[in-house]
Every structure is written in C-alpha cells, then in structure tokens.
Amino acid sequence: MRPQVLTVSAFGPYAGEITIDFERLGTQGLYLITGDTGAGKTSIFDAITFALYGEASGAVRDPQMFRSKYAKAETKTYVELTFCYRGEKYRVKRNPEYQRPKGRGTGLTLQKAEAELEYLSDSSRPIVSKSKDVTKAVTEILGLDYRQFTQIVMIAQGDFQKLLLADTATRKEIFRRIFHTEKFQQLQDALKVELSRQKEAYEDLRKGISQELSIAVCPNGAIEEPEWNILKKNGFDGQTLRAIELIEVFLSAGEEKYQMLKKEEEELSCKQRTLAVCEEKLQRYKESCENVKEKEKRLEILLPNVIKAQEFFYEQVNKQPRQKELDAKKHRLQQDKQLCEAVQSEEKQLIQVKNELKEKEKTQLRQSEERKKQTRCIEEMKRQLEPLKNCEVAYSQALLQMKQIEKQKNEWDEVQKQKLEAEETICELKQSIQSVFDQRKQQEEQIKACEIEMEKLSDAGREEQRCQSLVEDRKYQLEQYQTSYAEYKNICDCQKKKEQSIIHQKEQLDKLNEIIHQKEQLCEELKDCDVLLEQKKAQIKENGYRLEELTKFEKQLQEEKDQERIYTELQKKCKTYIESYERSQSKWKHAWTCYLNAQAGILAEGLEDGKPCPVCGSVHHPVLAAKNLQTVSREELDEMQKKADEAQRKAEKASAAVQASYAQLQKLRQTMFAEITKWLKSEEVIFEAINTCDQAEEVLKRSFKQLCQKKEQLLTQQTSLEQQSSTYHCVKTELVKAKEQQQLAVSQFQKEKENYAVLTTKVANMKKSLDQIAADKNETEKEAFLTKQLQQAKEALLQAGKNIAYARSLKEKEDELKKSKENLLQKEQEQRTNLDGMLGKLDITKLQIEKLQKEVESDFAIAKLYEEKKEQVNRLKAEVENKDRMQKALLQEQTKKEKADEAFQQLAILIAEERAANQERENSLRQKYDSLQAQNAQWDGQSTQELCLCLQEQMERIECEQQQIEQVYQAAQKEANSLKADEQSLRNSIEEGKKQILSMLEDNGGAMPEEELIKKEQEELSLKKEKTSQECRTWFAENEKNRAVLLGVKKHQTVMQETEKKYVWVRELSNTANGQVTGKPKIELETYVQMAYFERILRRANVRLMTMSQGQYELKRREEAENKKEKAGLDLNVVDHYNGSERSVRTLSGGESFQAALSLALGLSDEIQSMAGGIQIDTMFVDEGFGSLDEAALSQALKALANLAEGNRMVGIISHVAELKDSINKKILVTKTMGADGPGSYIKIETN
C-alpha cells in the first residue's frame, strides 16, 4: 500500500483543510516528519489509519476525539486518502461522528459517521458507501486487518520498549494478542479444570471407603470387638465383606439395646411429670403468699401519698379566680391590639393611595401631551383632504354613464334569450295540450261504464242488512247450546280421569317407597368409593410425573449419544487436518532451509577479501558458502508457507471444535448422571453408582418397566372405582329425586281427591240445566237444526257482502275518474291560456328583435365606449376610496381626541376627589393616634408596629401564666385520681390473693407438701433419666453411623479402580501442558508454541541489530529462567560478540536498548507480514524518538532503515533530532501557529 494524496479537514490539530502530496517524496527511501510538539505529526498516521479502517494508529486516541477543537463550526471534519496497491488506484473518504450546526434554525445536531471507497482504476465498479462495508473492502484489498496493519505498516509511538523488556508472562500476553494463541491457553485451562474434577472424584472415592468404614462403631464389650479393631487397624484392606457382616451384627444388637433404654426413659419421664405438678402447686402457693404481703406493704406506703395529693389538688382549686382576672386583662389588651392593627392598616392604605395619586398625576401629564399631538395630526389630515373634494361628483357622473351603456347592452342580450325561451315553451305547450285532451276522452268513457254498473247494484245494501240480522240470531242460539253441552262433557271426562289418576297415583306412591328403600341401601354400601378414587388418582398422577421424568432422561440419553457421535467424527476430522498440517509444515521447513542456504551462497559470491561482510562486518572470509543449485524461488516458498498456514488454521479450527464438543459432552453427562442419581434416590431405588450411559439406560429401563406395570394396575383399580363412584352419584341423585317425587306425589294425591269431590257436585248441577234446555227435542236434533240455519244465513250474508263491496269499488272509481276529468279540464284551460300569452309575447319579441337588428351597427361603438368609461370609473373609484379612507381616519382621530379630552377631564376630577379623601383619612388617622396615646400610657410615641409587638408580648405573658396555672391544676387532679385508683386496685388484689391461698390449702387437705422432699426426689429421678437418655442417644448415634456406613460402602467400592486410572492419565497430561513437570523447565504449551514464533522474530531482528551495532550484539532467547519457580521460554538475553558474553537485555544502555527494540519491532513486522502471505508493503512508518543514540549509532540505525527502504519502498520517521534533519533530505514540516482565524497546524513538504 502506497499513499499518494492525503487530505484532512478539521481533524486533530488541523483547523482547516490540509493536503499532503506523498508523490512529491518519491517512490523509495527515507523521509522525515518533524515539527513542534503537539503540532500533529502522529495525527498524520492517525488520519491514514482512520481513512482505511476508521480507527486511530495507537490505543490512546479514540475516533470520537478526531474533531478539531480549533475548527470553525461550519467546517466539516473528514479525511480523504488516495492510495495505490498492486498497480490499482483507490480513493477512500471517511468522517467521524461529531456535532455540527443544524441546517435550519439554531443549535447543534449529530453528524453520523460516514465513509465511501471509490475504485479509480475501474470506473465500472460501484462506490462502496457504508462504513462497515468500506472497512471490509479495504481489508480485502490490502489483505490486512486493522490489527495487522498497525503492527506491520505503523510502528506506533511508545510501543518499542514493551516487547524488549517484558518477562515471559508479559511477552506471552503480547504474543497471544498478535498470534492468537489463546486456544492453547484455553486447552491448558480445560485440562486444569478436568484434573481438578478428576482429582476431587478420585480423592472422594479413595477416602470414602476407608473413612466410612472407620466411622462405624463397635459396641463396648461386644464379642466381635477384637476382630473389629484388627480390621480397622489394617484399613479394612480386602476385608470389606467381613466388615459389612460385623456392622450388621452391631446394628442388630444396638437396636435391641436402644429399644430397652427407650422404654426405661419413658417410665422415668412419667414420674418426673408427677413431681413437677406437685412442685408447681407449691410454687404457686408461695408466690401467692409473697404477693399478698408485698401488696399490703405497698398499700401502707401509698396511703400518705394519697392524702398529700388530695390536699394539693384542693389548693389548686382555690387558685381558679386568678384565671378570670387574667382573662379580663387579656381581653383589654386584645382590643388595644386590634385598634393598633387598624391604625397600621390605614397607614399602609394612605401611603398606597398617595402613590396611586402620584401615578395619576403623571398619567395626566402624558395625556396632555398626547392631546396636542392628536390636534396637529387632525390639521394635517384636513389639509390632505382639500384636493379630493370634487372627485366624488366626477365619479358619480362617470358611473351613471357606464350604467346606461351597460343597460343597453344587457337589454339586447335579454331579448335574444327571451326569444329562444318563448319558442321552446310554445312547442312544449302544444304537446301538453294534445296529451291532456287524449286522457280526458278515455276518462269520460270509463265514467259511463261505472254509472251502468251502479244502477244494477242499488238493492244490495238492504239484502245485506237482513242477512246479517238472521246470522246473528242463529249464531247466538247455537253458541249457547254448544257451550253448555261442551262444558258438561268436559266435566264428565275430568271426573273419570280424576278417578283413574287417583288409583294410578296410589300405585306410583307405593313403587316410589320401594325404590327409595333400595337406593338408600346401595348408597350405604358405596359411600367410601370417592375417597378411594381420589387416592388412586393421586397415585396415578404421581406415577405419571415419574414417567415424564424417565422420558426426559431418555431424551437426554439420546442427546448424549448424538453428541458422542459428533465428538468421534470431529476427532477423526481433526486428526486428518493435523497430519496434513505436519506434512505441509515439514515441507515448508525443508524448503526454507534450502532457500537460506541458497541466499548464503549468493551472498558469498559477492564477497572479496579486505571488504567487510554486509552480515557480520568481517573483512576476512576463510570459508565461503557454496551456492546450492537445487533451490526454490521466493514465490514457491511463499506458496508453501501459505498452504502450511491454511492447513494450520484448519487444524486449529478442528481442534477447537473437538474441544468444544468434548466439553459439551462432559457437561451433558454430568448434568444427566446427577439428575438421574437424584431421581433414583428420591424414588428409594437400590442401584450402583452410575458412570456410563449404558448403566443409566439399564437402570432407567428397569424403572420404566416397573412404573408401567404399576400404572396399569392403578388404572384398572381407577376404572373400577370410577364405575362405583359413578353408580354411587347416580343412585344418590336418583334417591334425592325419588324423595322429591314422593313428596310431590303425596301432595298431588290429596289435591286430586279434593278436586274429584268438587267435580262430582258440578256434574249433577249441569245435568239438571241441560235437561231444561232440550225439553222438546233431544240434544243431537236441536244442534243439527241450529247448525243448518246458521249455515244458510252465512251464505246469504257472504253473497250480499260481495255485491256491496263491488258496488263500493265502482263508486270510488267513478269519483276518482270525475275528479281526474275536472283536473284535466282545468289543466287544459291553463295551458291554452299560457299558449295564447306566449304567442303574444313572441310577436312582441319579434318586433323588438327587428328593431334591435337595425341598431346592431351602433353596438360596437357602445362596447368601445363601455370599456373607456369602465377605465375612467375605476380610476375615479380609487380616488374616492382613498378619500373615504382618509375621512374615516380623520373621524377616528377626532373621536380619539374627544375621548382623550373626556378622560383628561375625568382624571382631573378624580385627582381632586382623591386629594380630599386623603385629607379626611389623615384626620381620622390622627384621631386614632390620639386615642391610642390616651389608652396606653407606656406608649411614648413609637411606631404602631412597635406598639403591636408590645401588646402581643403582654398577651403572651398572660397566656403563659394561664397555661401554667391550668397545667398545675390538671396535673394535681390527675395525680390524685391516679393514686386513688391505685389504692382501690391494691385493696381488691389483696382480697383476691387471700381467697386464692385458702383455696389452695383446701385442695391439698389443709397443708402443702415439703419442698425439700420434692427436690431431693426430683434430683434422683433427673440423674437416672440423664444417664438413661445419654445411653439411649449413644446407642442411637452408633446405630445410625453403622447404618450409613453400610449403605455408603456398597455404593463406591466398585468404581474406585476405574476412577484412579483416569485421574493419573489426566494429571500427567495437565502437568505437561501447564509446565508443571517436576525437574523440567516451566514451559507451558502456549509458551512452547509462541517460542517458535519468537525464534523466527529474533532471526529477522538480528539481521538489523548486527548492522546497527556493527556486529557487536545479537538477541537470543533464554533457555531457562533465572528462578526455577518462574515461568520460562520467552525471556530474552543479548549476546555481546566483542567479549563473548551473554547477559540480560536490561543491561543495555539507552541507545543500545533503542537499537535492540527497533530491530525487534522490525523483525516482528516482517514475521507478521510473512504470516499474512502475499502482502505487498510499499510504505512503513516509524513513530519513535531517536534522541538516545550517538552519532555513530544514529548512522547505523539510519543505514538499517535505509536497507529496509531499498527497492520500491518508503519509510517515514518522526523525530526531533537535528542530525536526522541534516541526514534526510525529504521532509514533512509540521508547524503550529496562531493565524488570523485562530490556532491551527500547517504542513510544508521539502524535497531538497
């Protein structure tokens, strides 16, 4: 990458826009960047890095700091860089996020970070515009990301000495960031964690068996005690089964002993409770006696105090008249204070009124001035109106003439319009008249037909009335008979039904009683089925939860198998990648050795005796390296290295995937085994320790089978109980319904019996009534005769109704036709009248048109005259409107002046009135002053405010005295009442205590037991119980220990051997990877990998250091640490070839340290560049001071940098050293000045 043009604006110390043309510096060699401190030398590097990657060149600066503090608000902040790479030209522009002025309005707004990349050599490619996309595109073009770019191209300020003087731990952290070796550190940490876990598991198991067996207790005096002691001494080695048998014997004997002691302890506790009751009664008796004595003493002490309190209370009662005197005095003071406050308020009002009066006088002066101004304004407006007096007359005349001309024009237009309308109206009227005439002829024919039909139906009304009367008579007779007979039949039917219903209800009632008895017996048998069903449901639910847990465990087992399969596949893949990497690395190392040998041969060809070697500086060359004919080119070597690096990345990626898969597999197993073990313990299942998936699967299958069997049993029982429960609830419901039906049936049976008696009476009465109605004919004949007569009358009535309806419709139709005929005649007459009028108008209009046609020649002149008059009228109208506006304004001004005069007069009157009122207020205030002076002798003429304060103080003193008297009175009253109540309470309490003592004596036969005998017996029982309890606890604890040991030993014995084997293997691997092998240097796996990088860096660095130090110094990695306890592998020594010694780099002087640090930094840059593969670096920047070097060392450093700049490469250096300014011709001068626009930095390029 070679920068060509760099433009910065408002960036860092550069307030304005600055452009640096790097092409003026050439295409190779050194150039110097120098200038004032803080002028912005490093900011040039920051600008280049920011343009490419959006970041600063060092870690100190942040992109948000790039906005210049010296720039104007409107100046934009951006960086634009034009650069070329591999013959292609690019331009990148970027701006940071900063605050800028708003486009509209005031204030600031946030300018977001933006970027764009333009392909200048290929205009067909689109411009990249987003910030992240630009950074990505630049990384793809250069083949370097931001981190690599700053490590290879820019050696940032202050970073030289860090790597040179660092110890192994610090240098390891630096190399980890550069070469990404953290995956090896993660592997070490993972091995440590795994070792800790395996060790913990092994120690737990190893100690577990021996500790648990040693915890077991052998009962004292047991026959097996000697044998047990021997086993315990030997650590139970090989005698676990015998130890388990002995522990079982100890448990059996211990349980028998424990039960015997427990029974004895219960007997002693019963005796203790009996003695405790006696002791409690004696204690209560003593407490009652002492309590009575104490209260009698308190009563003797209290009586004198009661007498004193009553006497003090009577004294306070005698002091109450003083309160009234103080109240009267306080009332007088209150009145004086109110008068004083009133005077004070009037004083304030008087001052306020005086101030208002002054303001009104000032207002009067202002109004006077305004009146004068208004008078002058009115005179001026009158002078302006004089020239416009005659414009109205001219305007009226012109307007009148224009109206006449316009009227003539409108008359002509109106006549033409009327002619057209009249012709259209005449045609419409002729058509309408013909239509009305046709309609009238049709209606006259319809009216004649209606009159003929009406004559035929004139007698239909009379016949209808006769038939109607006959129908009503027949209908009434038939309805009366049918009603009576139907009612009689219904009642007879009801009587028969009631009789049958009574018999049926009696049978149903007997059946219900039998059903209720059976249901009650069945309910009694099934009453407990609900409780049993709920219990079974709870058991099934719990069993379901267990099955769900097992299903979850089966899924976890399947996941573990899938993860194990993935882990195996990844292991195979990783092994393949590692083998490929080893082959590629071996091939590259062989080629690199051949290449270096070939380079040595090429260098040897150019050596001559007497001339120094460019590598070692020696002038003698006794043995020259031979040129190797079979060598590889640099391109082939780079290609091999690229393949090796690619294979390494694949191997590392596969290794990381294997590690992650293994960690996930182990985590899954631990979680799964722990949950399964916890579940089995909660289920109280006897099982061995689970360490493999096969064991877990076997245990789960067995448990699943048992739970499924149990589930089937429970479901069968549940089904049976559900049937019983359903039967029970159905029977219970039916029983309730049956009882309700029974009650309902009994009540209905009683009602039916009552209704049957009523119906029997009613049937007899109605039978008599029907016999009287049908005395001459039987029921059937009379009903048929009446029905026939009614039918005939109805038919006649129906025919008469039809005739009448038809006659009515004809009458209505005739009336409508007559009315329509009249309307048509009237309408025809109106239309004929309108037609005659329109024909007359049409004749008149034709005459007017003929007349106007003769005058048509003069219309054009009228139109032209109309336009001229219209312009004149508009002009005059504008003058009239101007005059009106001026007159209105004059009238307004005159009105304002009149109002101002009136307000001025009112204000004058108001001021006079207020002056008189103020005088009255002053007189009134003076009188009140005199009154206050007379009432308060102590007032010696001070202000009313001071007098108010004085009166307030007197009132407060009176109130304080009153409060004191009242408080003493209340306290005396309270004290007297309290003491009196205490006296009465003590007397009542003494009487109650005496009654309680007598009651206790009566309960114990007149005397209480002796306390000493009770205590002695209690002590003897306590000693016996304590001894028994202690023995009981001892035997219980021993039994529990033995039981726990027995369970624990059976769990862990089988797993011990496998765990120990795995622990030893993991420990060896972890110690090797973490550098903790005894007797070996403490080199970790990550450090071992970094040593290979470090060796390559040192080889590259020594080429330059030997040149700078004239062959004196060479950097060398220290093999062992100074202290065996410290980590080793990356410490650095320096070899002094002048005396053949090797020492720490910390012993170098300042200038020598700089040379070594610069060489190491350049070596690191070369190594990173070689790792990047195929990267072309055309420009480098070194930001570091050279002030610590002498002239010779400075010359050698420049020589090394010049060698670095050989070919088509440029190296830029920042320095303040004067010798560099003289040695390097091409310079960029950065100056910081105070210009006309403010402070800022400027740049100048020198090439001479």
pLDDT digits (tens, 9 = 90+) for 730-759: 777 777 777 777 777 777 767 776 776 776
Closest by Cα among 121, 149, 10, 122 to 74: 10
- Whether 31 shows a pLDDT value over 80: the answer reads yes
- pLDDT band at residue 1184 under the 50/70/90 scheme: low
- pLDDT band at residue 696 under the 50/70/90 scheme: low
Using CA atoms in the order 161, 167, 170, 172, what is the torsion angle rounded to 10 degrees?
Answer: 110
Q: How far apart, in whole angstroms, are the C-alpha atoms of residue 1177 and residue 477?
A: 135
Token pair of 771 as six digits: 């016999």
Token pair of 699 as six digits: 């245990």
Token pair of 577 as six digits: 């990648």
Q: In this predicted structure, what is the pLDDT of residue 167?
A: 78
Tell me what the mean pLDDT of segment 870-882 comes to.
71
- pLDDT band at residue 372 under the 50/70/90 scheme: confident
Q: Of 636-645, 704-713, 806-815, where does the model show the most confidence?
A: 636-645
- Judge whether 1245 and 33 are in contact, CB under 8 Å: no
Tell me what the mean pLDDT of segment 705-731 comes to.
73
Tell me what the mean pLDDT of segment 589-601 comes to.
72
- Whether 478 shows a pLDDT value over 60: the answer reads no
- Whether 26 shows a pLDDT value over 70: the answer reads yes
Tell me what the mean pLDDT of segment 802-809 comes to.
63
- Whether 854 shows a pLDDT value over 70: the answer reads no
DSSP labels for 325-380? HHHHHHHHHHHHHHHHHHHHHHHHHHHHHHHHHHHHHHHHHHHHHHHHHHHHHHHH
- pLDDT band at residue 781 under the 50/70/90 scheme: low
Q: Which residue has the higher pLDDT, 303 or 157?
A: 303
What is the torsional sign of CA 70, 75, 77, 79?
Answer: negative
Q: How far apart, in whole angstroms, are the C-alpha atoms of residue 263 and residue 847?
A: 153
Q: In this predicted structure, what is the pLDDT of residue 388?
A: 61
- pLDDT band at residue 784 under the 50/70/90 scheme: low
**Interval 757-768: pLDDT, tens:** 776 776 666 666
- Whether 774 shows a pLDDT value over 50: the answer reads no
- pLDDT band at residue 170 under the 50/70/90 scheme: confident
Q: Of 392-406, 445-459, 734-748, where does the model show the most confidence?
A: 734-748
Tokens 């105090």: give the residue: 305
Lowest mean pLDDT among 743-752, 800-809, 1119-1128: 800-809
**HEC-encoded secondary structure of 62-75:** CHHHCECCCCCCCC
- Whether 343 shows a pLDDT value over 60: the answer reads yes
Token pair of 974 as six digits: 């309270």
Tell me what the mean pLDDT of segment 712-724 comes to.
73
Q: In this predicted structure, what is the pLDDT of residue 856?
A: 46
**Interval 34-58: pLDDT, tens:** 888 888 888 888 899 999 998 876 6
Q: Which residue has the higher pLDDT, 1068 or 1149?
A: 1068
Q: In this predicted structure, what is the pLDDT of residue 775?
A: 46
Tell me what the mean pLDDT of segment 549-578 comes to.
80
Tell me what the mean pLDDT of segment 82-103 comes to.
89
**Interval 822-837: pLDDT, tens:** 766 666 566 566 656 6
User: Residue 1128 carries which side chain, given as an amino acid letter?
Assistant: A
- pLDDT band at residue 376 under the 50/70/90 scheme: confident
Q: How far apart, in whole angstroms, are the C-alpha atoms of residue 627 and residue 604?
A: 8
Q: Which residue has the higher pLDDT, 690 or 1120?
A: 1120
Q: Which residue has the higher pLDDT, 96 or 496?
A: 96
- pLDDT band at residue 221 under the 50/70/90 scheme: confident
- Whether 1084 shows a pLDDT value over 60: the answer reads yes
- Judge whether 388 and 879 are in contact, CB under 8 Å: yes
Token pair of 601 as six digits: 């041969």
- Whether 1065 shows a pLDDT value over 70: the answer reads yes
How many CB atoms are closer than 10 A to CB 1135?
A: 14
The domain segmentation of the chain, as residue ranges, is 2-153+1177-1246, 216-318+976-1052, 461-526+722-773, 529-684
CA distances from 257 to 252, 262, 1040 (A): 9, 9, 14
Q: At residue 1054, what are phi and psi to the nearest 5 degrees? A: -75, -20
Regarding pTM above 0.85, the answer is: no
For the sheet containing 88-95, what is the strand order?
A: 14-21, 2-11, 78-85, 88-95, 114-119
Distance, first Cα to last Cα, the chain: 25
DSSP labels for 149-210? HHHHTEE-TT-HHHHHS--HHHHHHHHHHHH--HHHHHHHHHHHHHHHHHHHHHHHHHHHHH
**Interval 634-689: pLDDT, tens:** 777 778 878 887 887 887 788 778 778 877 877 787 777 777 777 666 665 554 55
- Whether 183 shows a pLDDT value over 50: the answer reads yes
State the Cα angle at 121 between 117 and 127, rounded to 5°: 25
Q: In this predicted structure, what is the pLDDT of residue 503?
A: 73
Q: How far apart, in whole angstroms, are the C-alpha atoms of residue 892 and residue 882?
A: 15
Token pair of 38 as six digits: 């803080």
| pLDDT more than 90, % of the chain | 5
Tell me what the mean pLDDT of segment 884-902 comes to.
75
Tell me what the mean pLDDT of segment 360-369 comes to.
75
CA distances from 126 to 120, 123, 351 (A): 10, 8, 86
For 260, counting Cβ atoms within 10 Å of its Cβ (0-12 exposed, 13-18 middle, 19+ buried), the class is: middle
For the sheet containing 1141-1144, what is the strand order?
A: 1113-1117, 1132-1136, 1141-1144
Q: In this predicted structure, what is the pLDDT of residue 911?
A: 72
Tell me what the mean pLDDT of segment 275-296 comes to.
77
* 6: enclosing H helix or E strand: strand 2-11
Q: In this predicted structure, what is the pLDDT of residue 20?
A: 92
C-alpha Rg value of the chain to the nearest Å: 65
Closest by Cα among 493, 490, 512, 489 to 749: 512
Tell me what the mean pLDDT of segment 959-980 comes to.
76
- Whether 598 shows a pLDDT value over 80: the answer reads no
Tell me what the mean pLDDT of segment 772-781 comes to.
47
- Judge whether 11 and 65 are in contact, CB under 8 Å: no
Strands 1113-1117 and 154-155: unpaired
pLDDT averaged over every residue in the chain: 74
- pLDDT band at residue 915 under the 50/70/90 scheme: confident
- Whether 780 shows a pLDDT value over 60: the answer reads no
Q: In this predicted structure, what is the pLDDT of residue 745?
A: 72
* 693: enclosing H helix or E strand: helix 693-773
Q: In this predicted structure, what is the pLDDT of residue 777?
A: 42
Lowest mean pLDDT among 635-639, 1031-1035, 1205-1209: 1205-1209
- Whether 807 shows a pLDDT value over 70: the answer reads no
- Whether 439 shows a pLDDT value over 80: the answer reads no
Q: In this predicted structure, what is the pLDDT of residue 482?
A: 62
Tell me what the mean pLDDT of segment 691-700 comes to.
65
CATH tag for 2-153+1177-1246 (out of 3.40.50.2000, 3.20.19.10, 3.40.50.300, 3.10.310.40): 3.40.50.300
